[in-house]
Amino acid sequence: MKKGTTILIVIASVAIITCFAYLVYKTWVVFGFWTLAWTGLVTILSGTILGNLIGSRAESKGKITYNPKEWPKFLNIIICAFVGYYLFTIINVPSISETDFYFGLCYLILLTALPIIWATYKLFRDRNDFVEIDVEFISYKDNKKTGKFEILKIKKAEGLVNLTLHFKDETTHTIALSEMNFNGTDKASLLKEINSRLPKIEETEQKV
């Protein structure tokens, strides 16, 4: 990378960080520190609690299916939208100067509106994604991506963010759980479920 390009990147990074820091400072002035503190806490608790409230594991006719529920995430989106609306009512009054109004509006767009739009898009995009386990196979659907793998050929499974299957022929395949509405509880449960089946299969092979 040329020296001039590096300098431009550094200058641009410093400018972006400075502008963002000033935006945060101005929003503290406009909304008040404690208002931002309690609304931020509500948003974080809502995402954490509702995101992990309901497990997606279901068992029927020998098949275990992980299909994440959409309604807890949708409820979290509604709560975040109400928080954003409440903050908007604070700046949408005659006593707020035009400058403070636009600073507050920028804050709401960047840290409330855009995340809500992205979360809503992901919710609908990933609503039919699943991972299914039966006696012989692990199959999944991630939007248009699908896969089906024979459990006998899997050596181990790992991953806290995405699920990586390691096969006995030294190949691997990654299932992008982070893009399938899976929460942390679902990921841990799925990983445990898969790995619990592998030793049993290996023992069966040895007896044969």
pLDDT in tens, 80-132: 999 999 999 999 998 888 888 988 898 899 889 999 999 999 888 888 899 99
User: Model's pTM, two decimal places?
Assistant: 0.75
For residue 59, which phi and psi values (nearest 5 degrees)? -125, 130
pLDDT in tens, 29-39: 888 889 989 99
According to CATH, where is 2.30.29.30 located in the chain?
Answer: 130-207
Highest average pLDDT, of 9-23, 46-60, 139-153, 191-205, comes from 139-153
List residues bridging with 166 in a β-sheet.
Answer: 156, 172
* pLDDT for residue 202: 44
- Under CATH, which architecture does the 130-207 domain have? Roll (2.30)
CA–CA gap between residue 109 and residue 112 (Å, rounded): 6
List residues bridging with 147 in a β-sheet.
Answer: 140
Mean per-residue pLDDT of the chain: 86
- Helices assigned H by DSSP within the chain: 3-31, 33-51, 71-91, 98-108, 114-125, 184-207
